[in-house]
Amino acid sequence: MFLRDHLTNEMNKVILGTWSFSKEAVTTTRDALLSSQSSIDSIEKGINSIEENMKYGPCIVGVGGPRNSHGFLEMDAAVMNGRHLQFGAVTALKGFSKPISVARSVMERCTHSMLTADGARIFAEKEGFTFNPELASKDTNGELPFQCHDTLGLIVLDGDDISCGVSTSGMPNKHPGRVGDSALPGNGLYADVSGGAACCSGDGDFILKFCPAFQVVQLLKQGKKPKEACNIVISDMTNRCSEYFEISIIAVNMKGEYGAGTTVASWKDPLEKDKTFNGFPYVAWTSGMDEPVCLCQEIIT
């Protein structure tokens, strides 16, 4: 049994994932967390399970994801730990199957916080990651799903520690070198133990103007509930824009309460063509659950 804005039990473990396709990632993350691995270890393993699986390409994630306008696969990923505000990211990375792992290495083993394109490749090879020429070769995009703004985002609360991570292959037919919100701190993700963590998914070229993940965490610091914080930020964004834009946000505070907000009224699962959600589907697991569950956040009014 679970509750929607939602205290966990005394173990205080929570995992959230963006979109219904994150269930495998959340399950893998849970298994790692329950085997006493850290929040960062758990996120890395969970996101790797999606990044390396070709079937998740229609979800705009990983090795099967869409190519840019020149036919190349460029992936963005980032990870952040809220205890020490550690952050690492790679953008426009070509030729590697685990961009979140490279991002973690940037966080832990590089004097910089973000590397891009050839710089990210040079670092990855130096750190021992295997370059795959096939992933760096030119190809064409096949049939693409209608919605093309999906990003895999995970949040892990483990007692007094909280982390988040994101990975995406980016929008189809993007200009080479384009970077959206996903891997930018405060935009696609943010974590701070004094408040909690948030991850965003949607129209990255619009989202990055607002730093929504950072804003949500600031509201969590002020005592707002996660769902309320998400809705406040989204309302501010919609008030500033006369046209429709897509954004969905998940958030967790340090009490183990979680929630979401969205502008998505309807979403068709790209892996299950006959399944449509009336809102933004996200996956949750807490230490009070046996298995992860898929919840659906309806559009704010």
Residues forming the active site = 151
What tokens appear for 250 in the block?
Answer: 């998940």
